[in-house]
Structure 1
Amino acid sequence: MPTFLLTLDATAAVATALADALGDDVMLADAAGAFDLGDGTWRLEAYCPERPDLDLFADAFAPMAADAGGLALDAARALLGRAAVRPLDADDWSSYGLDTLAALRAGRFRIWGEHNRPQEEASFGRHDLVIEASTAFGTGDHASTLLSLAALDRVLKRRRPRNILDLGTGTGILGLAALKAVPDARVVASDIEPVAVRTAERNRRLNAVGARFTARLADGLADPVIRAAAPSTSCSPTSCPTRSAGSPVRSCR
């Protein structure tokens, strides 16, 4: 049986309210979610086992949309009438998921994957990053990573450290972002997981930062390469809050 994708662009309040309701309605949708498109618009996506009747959809959910969005009932019904439906049975689901992802933004930084990176170099900015999805943590689509990038952006507008440590680097995203903001710095990106170090090294090559970025398998601050680079400024939220006596790491704050 085909699956049908229902989509609707709306405000955050309307899209999230509808996603919550549709996610609980197992008769109408198998799954539903709301996604920030980055321009103040949010997109509702609902995966339906049968083709939904858009007129019935608008009638049934208009009161909820009106309440969530502060709209008149007729305006809410008209908004829901702009929903679109298409079958997904012939699609490559993996490719569909990638193709619908837009670049993520945090401060000056934009994060792309290899699948959606602009082909024209003029469209790829100085602070743009290519971070390929991986089992390593840190592709930019999690709130903790986006908030860390935004905080790093603010710090690096005030400071230009020479040595930067990305402790628990994951994909290398924070260390690579730091190099985009401070191109003459040097970054040591360490992790205790070999897959993370391999992923960070791959992303180093994708971002063409050369030898200024070193991905290293290391457990904590006692690693000799980390100590040799001291004093380093941390761009990792795991080591930002404090600085103990004799530590080779300065807070990023």
Structure 2
Amino acid sequence: MTEARFTLTIPALTHDAANELASAMEESFVVDPLAITINETDEARGLWEVSLYFASEEDAEDARGISALSKGVIAPMPQQDWVRQSLEGLAPVSAGRFFLHGSHDRHRRRPGGIALEIDAGTAFGTGHHGTTEGCLMALDRILKRRSPRTILDVGCGTGVLAIAAAKATGRPALASDIDREAVRVTLGNAALNGVKPLVSSFVAAGLSHPRIAAAAPYDLIFANILARPLVALSTGLSRALAPGGELILSGLTLEQIRWIEATYESRGLALEARICRGNWASLVFTRPKKRKRPGGRTPGRFSFASPRGAGWELDV
């Protein structure tokens, strides 16, 4: 991995603003930092800062040209193990039965549930992002009702979702990504988490790969990518879903929820759940086994807020 030599730090942010900025930079196609950390700088005043790590001062200066980063301060890196420091800033995440942690937090594994070890690295998806966490929460809810037999993770990143599903069900999972590095990382993480025989990862753009077609239809599909690719893949993802199967979509901001809901409902799917973590949303759709009878009960909704301010709205 390229060594970081300069930081671009944006100070004096609220906790929510720091999280939103870090999430936006992780998703950005313009800014490409080697790592991003969020640190509390003043507990009494509730102030936080976001630091982006770059290989050169020129890269940091280019990033500061983005309006959201224009107030950032560039400084050379001290001689220290910045990778480990970055990892230690990622606290474990609990999402239902899943406990996701980095290698530095192995000692904090809880006795029950399913532990997943995923380190921040060269592929997206440590589980600390609201989108990945939302997908794990959705998976936990699904597993309380049934155990999917056929599983697909489109845009797998580090493979955390495919690994979680394989570990929880004991079933094989396919994990595809357009990035060869993501495939390499996914296979390494599958071995680390004891599901190497169950997780198959390969490079694929969209859903046209023969291995994806051969295993269809799927009881469970993850697609934690971005809103526009989800719209582009909506027909293929809907067709790949088995009757009664569930499709978990994420990588969406709250403002994009209605757009994605309308797109997938127009493909014949029904919204089953909506999970919000900060400014990010995860949606669960299902392919109905039967058409609704005329005069049948109209779905109602209830919602609740989780301890960290996350909303969960379910169709019932």
TM-score band, normalised by shorter chain: 0.5 to 0.7
The answer on 1:189 being equivalent to 2:139 is no
Question: What does residue range 5-154 of structure 1 map to in structure 2 within 5 Å?
Answer: 23=12, 45-46=40-41, 92-118=81-107, 123=110, 125-154=112-141
Structure 1 match to 2:189: 203
Q: Which residue of 2 is the match for residue 54 of structure 1?
A: none
Structure 2 residue aligned with 1:12: none
Give TM-score scaled by structure 2 length. Answer: 0.49
1:247 to 2:269 alignment = no
Identity %: 39
TM-score, normalised relative to structure 1: 0.59
Larger fraction in strand: 2
Shift of 1:126: 4.5
2:223 is paired with a residue whose SS is coil
Q: Which runs of 5+ in 2 are unaligned?
A: 1-9, 20-37, 48-77, 248-284, 286-316
Match of 1:227 in 2: 213
For residues 190 and 213 of structure 2, the distance between their equivalents in structure 1, rounded to whole angstroms, comes to 22
Distance in 2 (alpha carbons) for counterparts of 1:46 and 1:207: 34
**Higher alpha-carbon Rg:** 1
CA distance in 1, matches of 2:190, 2:79: 36
Q: For the Cα contact (< 8 Å) 1:33–1:46, is it kept in 2?
A: no
Q: Equivalent residue of 1:169, what SS?
A: coil
Give how far 1:168 is off.
0.5
Contact 1:163 1:186 in 2 (8 A): yes
Q: Which runs of 4+ in 1 moved over 6 A?
A: none
Distance 2:186 2:117 in 1: 11
How many angstroms apart in 2 are the aligned matches of 1:246 and 1:200?
25
Measure, in 2, the Cα distance between the counterparts of 1:130 and 1:209: 12
Q: 2: CA distance between counterparts of 1:170 and 1:44?
A: 25
Q: Which runs of 5+ in 1 are unaligned?
A: 1-19, 25-31, 35-42, 48-56, 66-88
Contact 1:114–1:130 (CA<8 Å) still a contact in 2?
A: yes
Say what the alpha-carbon RMSD is for the aligned residues: 3.7
